[in-house]
Amino acid sequence: MATALSLTHLGSLMRGVRSVDEVGANERAASLAKRSIKKSSKLWALDLSIRCMDLTTLEGSDTPGKVAALSAKAIRPKPGDSSIPSVAAICVYPARVADASERLQGSGVKVASVATAFPSGQSFTSIKVAEARDAVDAGADEVDMVIDRGAFLSGDYQKVYDEIVAIKEACGSAHLKVILETGELGTYDGVRRASILAMAAGADFIKTSTGKVQPAATLPVSLVMMEAIRDFMRETGRPVGFKAAGGIRTSKQAIAYLVVLYETLGAEWMTPDRFRLGASTLLNDVLMQIDKERSGVYQSPDYFTID
C-alpha cells in the first residue's frame, strides 16, 4: 500500500518538499482563469461540474427536513428535467448522515460527512477517530476530515500524520478526504507540505478548505495542491483526488477550476472519482447557466428551487 511510508522518514519527507514559486503560481492560475469556454464546451463543463459536485449544507440550523430537501435536489437538481445529472454526493454534519443516507439509498448519490471536530479540528484524537467511525457506521460513504492546523503550524508533523493514518483506518472502506484549510496555513510552501503529508498518510482526496474560514478555496492554492498531487502520482503511482470547497458560487469560477484541473492533472482527473467541487449555492448558478445556453435568455433565480 502506498501509505506505508515509514514514520522515521517523515522528517526527511517534509524536508524534501520543494518550495513553491508564489508569483509563478498566482500568474499561472490567473492566466488559466482567463480562458474562454463557450457553447457546447461550456455545456459539457457545466454538466461535469454538476456530476462532480458535493452539494453541501453545514449549518448549525440543519434539520432532517432540510437534509431531505437537499437530498431530493441532489438526485434531481432540476425537477422535470432528466437531462440534468445527479450530483456526486451531499455533504453534511455527522448527526445528519442517517437522514441523508435514508433519502439517497439506491440513487447513486454518495453521502459525505465532515468529521473530526469540524471545522477547527481542535479536539482529542480519540474523539476525532470515534466521530469518523460513527459517521461511517451511520452510513457515510465518504469522510471529510480536517487536519490539526495547530499541530501542523507548530511543526508537529508526526501528530498530523498519525491522526490521518488513524482516521483512515477508522474509515474502513469509506473514502477519506483530508481538508487542509489552506486559508490558515499561511504560505504556498505550507500548502504543498500539508498536501504531501496528507497524501503520504493515505488520503484518498485532498481538499482545500472547510468553507468556514476566509480565504477559502482560491485558484492558485488549488493549482499548488494539484501540482503536489501530480508529483505524488509520479513518485508513488497512486492517484489522489482533489476537492475544491468554499467560496465557489458561480459557474465561471467552477469552469476556471476545471481548466486548471485539466491543465495540471489531465483528462483522467475530470471525473467525480478524482475531482469534486464542494458548494451550496453553486448548483443553482450552474442550472441557470445551462438554461441560458439552451434558451438564449438570461435567467432569474426566482425560477429555481432554493434548497
Partner 1 sequence: MANKNGADRVDVRKTYKQYVGGEFVRSESGRAYRPDGMVNVPRGSRKDLRDAVRAARTAFAGWSGRTAMNRGQILYRAAEMLDARRAEFEELLGGGRKARAELDETVEVLVWYAGWTDKLAQVTGTVNPVSGPYFNFTIPEPTGIVGIVASDDPALAGLVRRLAPALCGGNVVVALAPEHRPLPALTLAEVLATSDFPSGVVNVLSGQRKELLPWLASHMDVNAIDVSGCTPDEVALVEAAAADNVKRVVKLPAGERSPHLVTAFMEMKTIWHPIGV
How far apart (Å, rounded) are the C-alpha atoms in residues 28 and 271? 23
Q: Which is nearer to partner 1, 52 or 287 (CB)?
A: 287
Q: How far is the CB of 152 from partner 1 (least distance, A)?
A: 38
Task: Answer yes or no: are the C-beta atoms of 73 and 55 closer than 8 Å.
Answer: yes
Q: How far is the CB of 218 from partner 1 (least distance, A)?
A: 22
| Residue found by looking up cell 469534486 in the block | 276
Q: Which is nearer to partner 1, 23 or 297 (CB)?
A: 297
Q: Which is nearer to partner 1, 65 or 301 (CB)?
A: 301
How far apart (Å, rounded) are the C-alpha atoms in residues 120 and 118? 5
Q: Is 34 an active-site residue?
A: no
Task: Answer yes or no: are the C-beta atoms of 54 and 243 closer than 8 Å.
Answer: yes
Task: Answer yes or no: are the C-beta atoms of 98 and 139 closer than 8 Å.
Answer: yes
Q: Is 168 an active-site residue?
A: no
Task: Answer yes or no: are the C-beta atoms of 195 and 228 closer than 8 Å.
Answer: yes
Catalytic residue among 73, 78, 168, 207: 207
Q: How far is the CB of 246 from partner 1 (least distance, A)?
A: 21
How far apart (Å, rounded) are the C-alpha atoms in residues 17 and 189? 8
**Which residue type sits at 48?**
L
| Residue found by looking up cell 483522467 in the block | 268
Q: Is 243 an active-site residue?
A: yes
Task: Answer yes or no: are the C-beta atoms of 45 and 38 closer than 8 Å.
Answer: no
Distances 138 to 65, 83, 133, 201, 307 between C-alpha atoms, Å: 18, 31, 9, 24, 23
Please give the residue ranges that form the binding site for partner 1 (CB under 8 A): 296-303
Q: How far is the CB of 87 from partner 1 (least distance, A)?
A: 24
Q: Which is nearer to partner 1, 15 or 39 (CB)?
A: 39
Q: How far is the CB of 297 from partner 1 (least distance, A)?
A: 4
Q: Which is nearer to partner 1, 26 or 299 (CB)?
A: 299
Catalytic residue among 73, 78, 110, 144: 144
Catalytic residue among 78, 99, 243, 285: 243
Q: How does strand 89-92 pair with strand 205-207?
A: unpaired
Which are the catalytic amino acids?
A: 144, 207, 243
